[in-house]
Amino acid sequence: MKNKTSPENPLMTSLREAAVRLWSLKPNKHLSADCFLSFIFEDGGEFFVSFAENPKSIHVLPGAEALYSYINFLHRPADDGVQTRLRSIALLTDPKGKPLFTSFDPGYPPWTLSDYEVRTSLKVYTEAANLLERYLSFNPDCRFDKLETPTRRFDKDSGTWVNEIRKLKLPEPLTINIEPPDEITLHRISRTPMVNANLELDIFMIMRATSEEGYDKPFYPVMILLCDGDKQVALSTELLSPGYDIVSAVQDTVISFIFKHGKPLSLSVQLPDLMGMLGGFCDDIDVPLIRASFLPAVNLYKSEHKIKD
Protein backbone atom coordinates (compact mmCIF):
# COMPACT_ATOMS: atom_id res chain seq x y z
CA MET A 1 0.00 0.00 0.00
CA LYS A 2 1.31 3.44 -0.91
CA ASN A 3 1.93 5.87 1.94
CA LYS A 4 0.15 9.16 2.24
CA THR A 5 2.20 12.21 1.30
CA SER A 6 2.79 14.63 4.16
CA PRO A 7 2.60 18.40 3.59
CA GLU A 8 6.36 18.57 4.23
CA ASN A 9 7.22 16.13 1.45
CA PRO A 10 9.97 17.93 -0.52
CA LEU A 11 8.74 16.37 -3.75
CA MET A 12 5.61 18.51 -3.52
CA THR A 13 7.79 21.61 -3.79
CA SER A 14 9.51 20.12 -6.84
CA LEU A 15 6.13 19.20 -8.34
CA ARG A 16 4.79 22.73 -7.94
CA GLU A 17 7.97 24.11 -9.54
CA ALA A 18 7.68 21.67 -12.44
CA ALA A 19 4.02 22.58 -12.94
CA VAL A 20 4.73 26.32 -12.95
CA ARG A 21 7.53 25.75 -15.46
CA LEU A 22 5.24 23.71 -17.73
CA TRP A 23 2.35 26.16 -17.65
CA SER A 24 4.68 29.10 -18.21
CA LEU A 25 5.21 27.61 -21.68
CA LYS A 26 1.42 27.99 -22.29
CA PRO A 27 0.93 24.53 -23.77
CA ASN A 28 -2.81 24.95 -24.32
CA LYS A 29 -2.09 27.92 -26.60
CA HIS A 30 0.33 25.94 -28.77
CA LEU A 31 -1.42 22.56 -28.76
CA SER A 32 -5.12 21.87 -29.14
CA ALA A 33 -6.87 19.34 -26.91
CA ASP A 34 -6.47 16.56 -29.51
CA CYS A 35 -2.69 17.05 -29.82
CA PHE A 36 -0.77 14.64 -27.62
CA LEU A 37 2.74 14.51 -26.24
CA SER A 38 3.94 11.05 -25.30
CA PHE A 39 6.55 9.64 -22.93
CA ILE A 40 8.04 6.20 -22.43
CA PHE A 41 9.57 5.89 -18.98
CA GLU A 42 12.21 3.61 -17.52
CA ASP A 43 9.73 0.86 -16.70
CA GLY A 44 8.36 0.84 -20.25
CA GLY A 45 5.05 2.41 -19.26
CA GLU A 46 3.68 5.09 -21.57
CA PHE A 47 1.95 8.34 -20.77
CA PHE A 48 0.04 10.42 -23.28
CA VAL A 49 -0.63 14.04 -22.32
CA SER A 50 -2.92 16.69 -23.75
CA PHE A 51 -3.83 20.16 -22.54
CA ALA A 52 -7.08 22.09 -22.42
CA GLU A 53 -9.08 24.63 -20.50
CA ASN A 54 -11.88 23.00 -18.55
CA PRO A 55 -14.16 25.45 -16.73
CA LYS A 56 -16.38 22.59 -15.47
CA SER A 57 -13.57 21.56 -13.13
CA ILE A 58 -14.27 24.52 -10.92
CA HIS A 59 -17.74 23.15 -10.11
CA VAL A 60 -16.67 19.64 -9.18
CA LEU A 61 -13.44 20.24 -7.29
CA PRO A 62 -14.05 21.66 -3.81
CA GLY A 63 -11.50 24.24 -2.73
CA ALA A 64 -10.68 25.45 -6.23
CA GLU A 65 -10.77 29.23 -6.27
CA ALA A 66 -9.74 29.86 -9.88
CA LEU A 67 -9.15 27.71 -12.92
CA TYR A 68 -5.56 27.76 -14.06
CA SER A 69 -5.49 25.03 -16.66
CA TYR A 70 -6.02 21.34 -17.19
CA ILE A 71 -3.85 18.39 -18.16
CA ASN A 72 -5.07 14.93 -19.16
CA PHE A 73 -2.99 11.82 -18.48
CA LEU A 74 -3.70 8.68 -20.49
CA HIS A 75 -1.61 5.83 -19.12
CA ARG A 76 -0.66 2.50 -20.67
CA PRO A 77 1.12 0.49 -17.95
CA ALA A 78 4.18 -1.51 -18.94
CA ASP A 79 2.85 -4.68 -17.35
CA ASP A 80 -0.58 -4.51 -18.97
CA GLY A 81 -0.91 -3.44 -22.57
CA VAL A 82 -4.67 -4.04 -22.66
CA GLN A 83 -6.10 -2.45 -19.54
CA THR A 84 -5.55 1.29 -19.52
CA ARG A 85 -6.59 4.08 -17.24
CA LEU A 86 -7.73 7.57 -18.08
CA ARG A 87 -6.46 9.96 -15.46
CA SER A 88 -7.29 13.62 -15.43
CA ILE A 89 -5.17 15.95 -13.34
CA ALA A 90 -6.60 19.41 -12.87
CA LEU A 91 -4.01 22.06 -12.16
CA LEU A 92 -5.59 25.04 -10.47
CA THR A 93 -4.42 27.89 -8.29
CA ASP A 94 -5.47 28.52 -4.72
CA PRO A 95 -5.83 32.07 -3.33
CA LYS A 96 -2.06 32.25 -2.74
CA GLY A 97 -1.28 31.23 -6.29
CA LYS A 98 0.10 27.74 -5.61
CA PRO A 99 -0.79 24.98 -8.06
CA LEU A 100 -3.15 22.32 -6.76
CA PHE A 101 -3.42 18.77 -8.08
CA THR A 102 -6.22 16.22 -8.02
CA SER A 103 -5.78 12.58 -7.15
CA PHE A 104 -5.40 10.12 -10.01
CA ASP A 105 -8.36 7.98 -9.04
CA PRO A 106 -11.98 9.14 -8.76
CA GLY A 107 -13.54 9.13 -5.35
CA TYR A 108 -10.72 10.86 -3.48
CA PRO A 109 -10.61 14.45 -2.21
CA PRO A 110 -8.44 16.63 -4.42
CA TRP A 111 -5.14 17.93 -3.12
CA THR A 112 -4.55 14.73 -1.09
CA LEU A 113 -1.88 12.90 -3.08
CA SER A 114 -0.10 9.67 -2.32
CA ASP A 115 3.68 9.45 -2.72
CA TYR A 116 3.17 7.48 -5.94
CA GLU A 117 0.96 10.22 -7.39
CA VAL A 118 3.48 12.91 -6.48
CA ARG A 119 6.41 11.01 -8.01
CA THR A 120 4.52 10.11 -11.17
CA SER A 121 3.12 13.61 -11.67
CA LEU A 122 6.57 15.09 -11.14
CA LYS A 123 8.05 12.88 -13.88
CA VAL A 124 5.25 13.68 -16.33
CA TYR A 125 5.28 17.43 -15.71
CA THR A 126 9.08 17.60 -15.92
CA GLU A 127 9.36 15.62 -19.15
CA ALA A 128 6.35 17.40 -20.66
CA ALA A 129 8.12 20.72 -20.12
CA ASN A 130 11.37 19.34 -21.58
CA LEU A 131 9.59 18.02 -24.66
CA LEU A 132 7.46 21.12 -25.15
CA GLU A 133 10.51 23.40 -24.87
CA ARG A 134 12.27 21.37 -27.55
CA TYR A 135 9.17 21.34 -29.75
CA LEU A 136 8.77 25.12 -29.53
CA SER A 137 12.51 25.76 -30.08
CA PHE A 138 13.15 23.39 -32.98
CA ASN A 139 9.64 23.23 -34.43
CA PRO A 140 9.99 19.59 -35.56
CA ASP A 141 7.96 18.42 -38.52
CA CYS A 142 5.23 16.77 -36.49
CA ARG A 143 1.92 16.26 -38.26
CA PHE A 144 -0.67 16.15 -35.50
CA ASP A 145 -3.35 15.96 -38.21
CA LYS A 146 -1.70 12.72 -39.37
CA LEU A 147 -1.80 11.26 -35.84
CA GLU A 148 1.86 11.89 -35.10
CA THR A 149 3.12 12.78 -31.64
CA PRO A 150 6.37 14.24 -30.28
CA THR A 151 7.78 11.53 -28.03
CA ARG A 152 10.34 11.57 -25.27
CA ARG A 153 11.65 8.06 -24.58
CA PHE A 154 14.08 6.82 -21.96
CA ASP A 155 16.69 4.66 -23.69
CA LYS A 156 17.84 1.92 -21.31
CA ASP A 157 21.00 1.12 -23.28
CA SER A 158 22.42 4.64 -23.14
CA GLY A 159 20.65 5.73 -19.94
CA THR A 160 19.54 8.95 -21.63
CA TRP A 161 16.33 10.48 -22.95
CA VAL A 162 15.70 10.36 -26.71
CA ASN A 163 13.38 12.72 -28.60
CA GLU A 164 11.55 11.42 -31.67
CA ILE A 165 8.34 11.64 -33.68
CA ARG A 166 6.06 8.58 -33.54
CA LYS A 167 2.69 7.53 -34.84
CA LEU A 168 0.07 8.10 -32.18
CA LYS A 169 -1.52 4.88 -30.95
CA LEU A 170 -3.70 5.74 -28.01
CA PRO A 171 -4.71 2.87 -25.74
CA GLU A 172 -8.32 1.84 -25.66
CA PRO A 173 -10.27 3.01 -22.60
CA LEU A 174 -11.53 0.47 -20.13
CA THR A 175 -14.99 -0.94 -20.72
CA ILE A 176 -17.34 -2.04 -17.97
CA ASN A 177 -18.04 -5.74 -18.01
CA ILE A 178 -21.68 -6.08 -16.94
CA GLU A 179 -22.47 -9.59 -15.82
CA PRO A 180 -26.15 -10.56 -15.64
CA PRO A 181 -27.49 -12.18 -12.45
CA ASP A 182 -27.29 -15.96 -12.29
CA GLU A 183 -30.10 -18.12 -13.69
CA ILE A 184 -31.46 -19.03 -10.26
CA THR A 185 -31.86 -15.35 -9.34
CA LEU A 186 -33.51 -14.52 -12.68
CA HIS A 187 -35.90 -17.46 -12.31
CA ARG A 188 -36.85 -16.39 -8.79
CA ILE A 189 -37.49 -12.82 -9.98
CA SER A 190 -39.64 -14.09 -12.85
CA ARG A 191 -41.93 -15.79 -10.30
CA THR A 192 -42.17 -12.69 -8.10
CA PRO A 193 -45.48 -10.78 -8.32
CA MET A 194 -45.69 -7.12 -9.27
CA VAL A 195 -46.00 -4.38 -6.66
CA ASN A 196 -47.63 -0.99 -7.16
CA ALA A 197 -44.42 1.04 -7.03
CA ASN A 198 -42.56 3.29 -9.45
CA LEU A 199 -38.96 3.47 -8.30
CA GLU A 200 -36.25 6.08 -8.76
CA LEU A 201 -32.56 5.18 -8.47
CA ASP A 202 -29.49 7.39 -8.45
CA ILE A 203 -25.79 7.20 -7.62
CA PHE A 204 -23.75 10.20 -6.50
CA MET A 205 -20.68 11.11 -4.54
CA ILE A 206 -20.98 12.35 -0.95
CA MET A 207 -18.51 15.22 -0.81
CA ARG A 208 -17.46 14.60 2.78
CA ALA A 209 -14.08 12.96 3.19
CA THR A 210 -14.16 9.60 4.98
CA SER A 211 -11.23 7.64 6.40
CA GLU A 212 -11.31 3.86 6.64
CA GLU A 213 -8.77 1.21 7.53
CA GLY A 214 -7.21 -0.25 4.40
CA TYR A 215 -7.21 3.03 2.43
CA ASP A 216 -4.05 5.10 2.21
CA LYS A 217 -5.92 8.43 2.17
CA PRO A 218 -9.42 9.81 2.79
CA PHE A 219 -12.03 9.24 0.09
CA TYR A 220 -15.48 10.39 -0.95
CA PRO A 221 -18.01 7.54 -0.63
CA VAL A 222 -20.52 6.92 -3.41
CA MET A 223 -24.17 6.57 -2.38
CA ILE A 224 -26.73 4.35 -4.09
CA LEU A 225 -30.17 5.81 -3.37
CA LEU A 226 -33.43 4.00 -4.12
CA CYS A 227 -36.69 5.93 -3.72
CA ASP A 228 -40.41 5.38 -4.15
CA GLY A 229 -41.28 7.95 -6.78
CA ASP A 230 -44.98 8.01 -5.95
CA LYS A 231 -44.66 8.29 -2.16
CA GLN A 232 -41.59 10.56 -2.38
CA VAL A 233 -39.66 8.58 0.23
CA ALA A 234 -36.25 6.93 0.34
CA LEU A 235 -36.37 3.14 0.47
CA SER A 236 -32.68 2.29 0.83
CA THR A 237 -29.24 3.86 0.84
CA GLU A 238 -25.82 2.26 0.55
CA LEU A 239 -22.37 3.85 0.76
CA LEU A 240 -19.58 2.40 -1.39
CA SER A 241 -15.82 2.76 -0.96
CA PRO A 242 -13.46 3.28 -3.95
CA GLY A 243 -12.82 0.12 -5.92
CA TYR A 244 -16.18 -1.42 -5.08
CA ASP A 245 -18.06 -3.18 -7.91
CA ILE A 246 -20.68 -0.50 -8.42
CA VAL A 247 -22.49 -2.37 -11.22
CA SER A 248 -23.16 -5.38 -8.99
CA ALA A 249 -24.09 -3.10 -6.09
CA VAL A 250 -26.66 -1.23 -8.20
CA GLN A 251 -28.20 -4.46 -9.49
CA ASP A 252 -28.23 -5.93 -5.97
CA THR A 253 -30.13 -2.86 -4.72
CA VAL A 254 -32.93 -3.52 -7.20
CA ILE A 255 -32.90 -7.29 -6.60
CA SER A 256 -33.13 -6.77 -2.83
CA PHE A 257 -36.20 -4.56 -3.26
CA ILE A 258 -37.85 -7.13 -5.55
CA PHE A 259 -37.29 -10.01 -3.13
CA LYS A 260 -38.72 -7.97 -0.26
CA HIS A 261 -41.64 -6.22 -1.97
CA GLY A 262 -42.13 -7.50 -5.53
CA LYS A 263 -41.31 -6.29 -9.03
CA PRO A 264 -41.89 -2.54 -9.47
CA LEU A 265 -44.01 -1.09 -12.27
CA SER A 266 -41.01 0.93 -13.48
CA LEU A 267 -37.51 2.05 -12.58
CA SER A 268 -36.44 5.62 -13.44
CA VAL A 269 -32.85 6.86 -13.62
CA GLN A 270 -31.25 10.06 -14.82
CA LEU A 271 -27.61 9.18 -15.48
CA PRO A 272 -26.56 7.61 -18.81
CA ASP A 273 -24.18 5.32 -16.88
CA LEU A 274 -27.12 3.84 -14.98
CA MET A 275 -28.94 3.20 -18.24
CA GLY A 276 -25.89 1.20 -19.32
CA MET A 277 -25.62 -0.67 -16.03
CA LEU A 278 -29.30 -1.54 -15.81
CA GLY A 279 -30.52 -1.73 -19.43
CA GLY A 280 -29.89 -5.42 -20.09
CA PHE A 281 -30.70 -6.35 -16.51
CA CYS A 282 -34.12 -4.66 -16.61
CA ASP A 283 -34.85 -6.33 -19.94
CA ASP A 284 -34.04 -9.71 -18.35
CA ILE A 285 -36.37 -9.15 -15.38
CA ASP A 286 -39.10 -7.44 -17.44
CA VAL A 287 -39.11 -4.13 -15.55
CA PRO A 288 -39.39 -0.97 -17.72
CA LEU A 289 -36.29 1.25 -17.37
CA ILE A 290 -37.03 4.94 -17.91
CA ARG A 291 -34.50 7.69 -18.62
CA ALA A 292 -35.91 10.69 -16.76
CA SER A 293 -34.81 14.31 -16.97
CA PHE A 294 -35.70 14.84 -13.30
CA LEU A 295 -36.14 12.52 -10.31
CA PRO A 296 -38.48 14.24 -7.79
CA ALA A 297 -38.03 11.80 -4.90
CA VAL A 298 -34.25 11.65 -5.32
CA ASN A 299 -33.95 15.42 -5.43
CA LEU A 300 -36.19 15.78 -2.37
CA TYR A 301 -33.88 13.45 -0.45
CA LYS A 302 -30.81 15.41 -1.57
CA SER A 303 -32.43 18.68 -0.57
CA GLU A 304 -33.47 17.43 2.88
CA HIS A 305 -29.97 16.04 3.54
CA LYS A 306 -28.17 19.05 1.99
CA ILE A 307 -26.41 16.92 -0.61
CA LYS A 308 -24.98 18.86 -3.54
CA ASP A 309 -24.06 17.23 -6.84
DSSP character for 301? H
Q: Which CATH superfamily is domain 183-304 in?
A: Ribonuclease H-like superfamily/Ribonuclease H (3.30.420.10)
Burial class (CB within 10 angstroms; exposed 0-12, middle 13-18, buried 19+) of 190: exposed
Q: Where in the chain is the domain with CATH 3.30.420.10?
A: 183-304
State what percent of residues in the chain have pLDDT above 90: 32
Q: Are 269 and 202 in contact (CB under 8 A)?
A: yes
Query: Which residues make beta-bridge pairs with 227?
Result: 200, 234
Mean pLDDT of the chain: 80
pLDDT, one tens digit per residue, over 183-231 is 999 999 999 999 999 999 999 888 787 877 777 677 788 899 999 999 9
pLDDT score recorded for residue 97 = 64
pLDDT, one tens digit per residue, over 83-121 is 455 565 666 655 566 777 777 766 666 667 778 888 888
Which residues have CB under 8 Å from 199's CB, separation 6+? Answer: 226, 227, 228, 229, 235, 254, 257, 264, 266, 267, 268
What is the number of residues in the chain? 309
pLDDT score recorded for residue 297 = 97
Does the global pTM surpass 0.85? Answer: no
pLDDT, one tens digit per residue, over 144-166 is 888 888 998 999 899 998 988 88
CA-to-CA distance for 165 and 36, rounded, in angstroms?
11
